[in-house]
Structure 1
Amino acid sequence: MKEEMIAVVFFLLLPYIRASAIIEVLTEDDTQYIKLSTHCITAAERSFFSFEVKAKNDAHFALMSADDDNEPLYEIVLGGWTNTKSCVRVEKQGTCYGTKQAQVLQESSFKTFWVYWLNGNITVGLGNIRDGNVFLKYYHSTPYPVNYFSVMTGYGSTGHWKFTNDVRCNFEVFNNTKVVENNTNCHGTVKYECDQGFYLYSGNIQRTCLMNRTWSGEPPHCKRILCPQLSSTASYTIQHQDTYAGGNVTVACSNNFRHFSGHLTRKCALSGLWEGEEPVCFRCKCPCSLTGQQKFNSSIELEQKIEKLKKELTILKNSTNSFYRKKISAPDNRPSSAGLGYLFGYGVILFIMLSLVISDMPKWYRHIRFGAN
């Protein structure tokens, strides 16, 4: 249990651990500034910054208005002039202000410095605690905005710098979404998915943390999936309808109509379409109430019912009266018996016909003699 709790705490703190990673930058002996923005470090929302540097001499740290060392900047020279003097400049390679005569750099080990700027006040000290071990101060009456940093070395020296990457965007959660990837570090990405039954209506499903601690793109907006609204017709009526994904619609054939094909119950799928086929109800040729109206969900179900009825209505020949008479009566195959049967049968027929003719003879006689009934 203890190990599980440690794992959970580590997972929750992981974004913060990543955000505090150490970034190392190497500068050549070429007096060319390297922008710290390429490493996700900017002056945005800051007025204090600390760093470590190892150099022989001339480690320059610039506070810039724009991400370009040709624009207005404050240039802080650490260990210039063979590590004998430090100062603050209001332009690149400009006049030194607030000069401090001392050796502040070491070629073999890192030294920690801090810089503070606000309303034209520039202060530099040793260590990482503000106002501790101050050795440079300068006030600029027309202050520049400070938005970016850059570093460089030269004049016979290379530099090894260390910075704490603490740029991180605020974690954001949105309605009807879930997070599938969460990296709030600079240049990190957050990926979202819409909840079950929802789709991305607008915004971005993936966003990147920018240097200014804002997210790229627009927040994702997920809307519920809906199927088209169905309406009753002359042949069937909508009894129940839920157009949300996963909902059902129930249909009943109208009076004097019978279900022929399609589905009387259908489900709204995640595609936004109704499953199954639209029901077809045909008008009855005779009143449905006299036929014991019965509804079927498909033609297959109807065919199965017909086959069942066929089996129930099948006549078993072995159960008929004629079958039993054959079993209990013996046939008489004698010629005299067959002849008598034929004579009796034909005699009966002939007698009936003669009776009909004789009964009509008076009518025929009157018609022939008098020409009328």
Structure 2
Amino acid sequence: MSFRRPRSFLLFALLLVLLALLAFGLTRLFGPRVHTLSVDQGLIRQAVVASGKVRSPQRSELAAQISGQVRAVNVVEGQAVRPGEVLLILDDRELRAAQSQAAAQLAQADLRLQQLRQLVAPLNQESRRQAEATLTQAKQQFQRVETLVAKGFYSPNQLDDARRALTVAESQFAAANLQASSNAQGGSDYRLAESAVVQARAALALADARLAYTTLQAPRAGTILSRLVEPGDSVQLGKVLLTLSPEGDTELVVHIDEKNLRWLALGQNAQVSADAWPDQHFAATINYIGAAVDPLRGSVEVRLVVAQAPTYLKEDMTVSIDIRTGEKPDALRLPLDALRGSAGENWVLVLRDGVAQRQAVTLGLRDAQFCEVSEGLTAGELLIPARESTVLPGDRVRAKR
């Protein structure tokens, strides 16, 4: 009995050593066991997710077009306004006086023109006829005196007097002609009077326009976002007084990383949720993709239109935007955990005949768990996860069951 116990123990130890050697040999022969992932077929829904802001399509900043003092502000922040509604009034006393002065100057210029038409022109025509009659009489008198002097009945002095009278009559007739032509329609005085009317009318239009600047009206229907002045404030030309959010489709503005630009297209749909109401979603559609990349941020501005905006949306509110950029119901799916390499050099370790082989892959759509394989793999193949960093191409491995 004393000899059997040591012998049994020796046999048991030898058995353990043999099993260890067998396990070590199998491992060296067939490789270690590793976790694997499989290539399958199924749905891939690709999306680009980003954070953006709510804004109106064309926010209007209503500014002062003249300097002055605010007399009244008729709106408050958040108030809806109609087109043409008076929002703000500046002190207009000085400009009203200027308008009255311009109107009086126009009336005076009009009166001068009417005077030329109705009084001065007829008077000048009458003066011309009188001068013409005087000239005719002076000519006849000169001819009669000249004949009598030649016959010796009149002295030469009387002929000189008749010549001087003729010269004066000719001068008066010429002056009457010039005056009548100047005051007639198309003459210089008439054109000056017409020009004065045009200038006075333009001055009145300018005064009317400057007076209109004292009243700030809503250019379109919308909502007042900000009120930056109060009655009594003095404002300068160009100072923003009110900000208006016009009625219309609400826009979302988001900056998308340029690496996702190839997936974006006009008309793509998105699901949106406001950070303040994360459980409520609404639809939006891409209607603008920026033509240039921001060099500082490496992003592209994208705008989405919201056809039916929820009532809780506010200007500049932060929203989360999920843009659906592609969908394939029967895609060949590669688990992202098995993907290795970088953009342009994607590859995987595929288990084929017990050996880890490096396989380049061409990818398509991608979601949070899978990416589509268009070339390089077939359904059912086993892949070694990227976290198995000790396994190298050419190593023998076995899949864990």
State the TM-score, normalizing by the size of structure 2: 0.22
Higher helix content, 1 or 2:
2
| Greater RCO, CA 8 A, separation 6+ | 2
State the TM-score, normalizing by the size of structure 1: 0.23
